Amino acid sequence: MSIYDTRIWRILVPLSDNSVKIAMSFLSIQNVVKSYENKIAVNGVSFDIPQGCIYGLLGPNGAGKTSLIRIITTITRQDSGSVFINGEKLNEDHTRIIGYMPEERGLYKKMEVGEQLIYLARLRGLSKIEAKEVVNHWFEKFGVMDWLGKKVTDLSKGMQQKVQFVATVMHKPKLIILDEPFSGLDPINANLIEDEIVQLRDEGASIIFSTHRMEQVEEICDRMVLINQGKNVLEGDVSEIKQRFRENLFEVRYSGTLNTESLSKFGEIGEQSEGYFTIKFPRASTQKSLLSWLVGNDITISVFREILPSINNIFIRTVNEASLV
């Protein structure tokens, strides 16, 4: 039975809640456990990544992210739990549709760039002609055709990073795993790679994005999971998570003469400067009371905006709280 026949069969047969999740996800991690000697590296982690999604895999050092990536890429096997790709249990055949860019780069330093990429493409199942075409396509796209005859040792760290990215995506993988993909890149090249990641997502690839740079998560990720001490402690849509941690904190910009001491009756005052203050309201209804009071005192309001917590602050708060349990 082909994978497409399997999908039809799932539609016809009633599914459990867990089976529905697996069927709707491109990658499904179900209660995965992995131990090394006496240390539990991954402890019952579960999450689902839909097709065409940039998914942040976050956590402090030693949280279990690398162990989980090694399981997904079939480098190691889980002790228990299940991993599904496109509804099928993970197996070695799936490596052909996976592209993995590790944090520790895996290029052959003394080998010419073009020769190396063609070799890696052929390992992924491309013919020699197809390999040459796809390598030329990417290098023309990046405007670096003169790199093909250079050795990796002749390239800067940022240039090596771009070569590694091409090696990761040139066989058009359906699942792409990027571990700190912007490391060593200047802002221009970081934006270039970011644009390519978004385009790959828009073309249907599912992308696992692992980084310690939380501002990148806010900018590029659709969903995220936060792992701490081998367990997932926070998971969901990035914008929804920010809403979940909202603190009723607002920024107010104004013109006019204002006695800021009178503001404390409406909430907790934070930053203050000429024509600006932040306030944390005890309840939502207090917002209207403040606005009415400001207007009644001839204050012109130019900005009244809620300040949502950053993913960086949410990360720190969640990890600290989890460590106390």
Q: Of the given ranges (36-40, 192-196, 250-254, 276-280), which has the lowest mean pLDDT?
A: 36-40
- 49 within 8 A of 103, measured Cβ to Cβ: no
Confidence band, pLDDT 50/70/90 cuts, at residue 260? confident
DSSP secondary structure, 16-77, as one string: -HHHHHHHH-SEEEEEEEEEETTEEEEEEEEEEE-SS-EEEEE--TTSSHHHHHHHHTTSS-
State the pLDDT at residue 25: 87
47-78+94-242, what's its fold?
Rossmann fold (3.40.50)
Confidence band, pLDDT 50/70/90 cuts, at residue 322? confident
Asked whether the predicted pLDDT for residue 162 surpasses 60, the reply is: yes
Residue entry with tokens 């306030």: 279
Q: How many angstroms separate the CA atoms of 57 and 160, rounded? A: 23
Distance of CA 225 to the CA centre of its chain: 8
Arithmetic mean of pLDDT over the chain: 89
The more confident residue out of 153 and 8 is 153
- Model confidence over 111-146: pLDDT tens digits? 999 999 999 999 988 999 999 999 999 999 998 899
- Residues in contact with 110: Cβ distance below 8 Å, sequence separation at least 6, in sequence order: 151, 152, 153
- Model confidence over 173-190: pLDDT tens digits? 999 999 999 988 999 999
DSSP conformation class of 148: T
**Cross-strand bridge partners of residue 28:** 48, 84
Name the CATH code of domain 247-307 (choices 3.30.70, 1.10.3430, 3.10.350, 4.10.860): 3.30.70
CA dist 306 to 64, 201, 242, 248, 309, Å? 34, 30, 12, 7, 10
State the pLDDT at residue 18: 57
State the pLDDT at residue 10: 36
Asked whether the predicted pLDDT for residue 15 surpasses 50, the reply is: no
Distance of CA 24 to the CA centre of its chain: 19
Q: Of the given ranges (9-18, 145-154, 256-265), which has the lowest mean pLDDT?
A: 9-18
State the pLDDT at residue 22: 58
Task: Provide the 3-class DSSP secondary structure of residue 150.
Answer: coil
Rg, C-alpha atoms of the chain = 25
Q: Where are the domains of the chain?
A: 47-78+94-242, 247-307
Q: How many angstroms separate the CA atoms of 139 and 47, rounded? A: 35
The more confident residue out of 324 and 104 is 104
CA dist 29 to 56, 86, 167, Å? 14, 12, 26
Asked whether the predicted pLDDT for residue 108 surpasses 90, the reply is: no
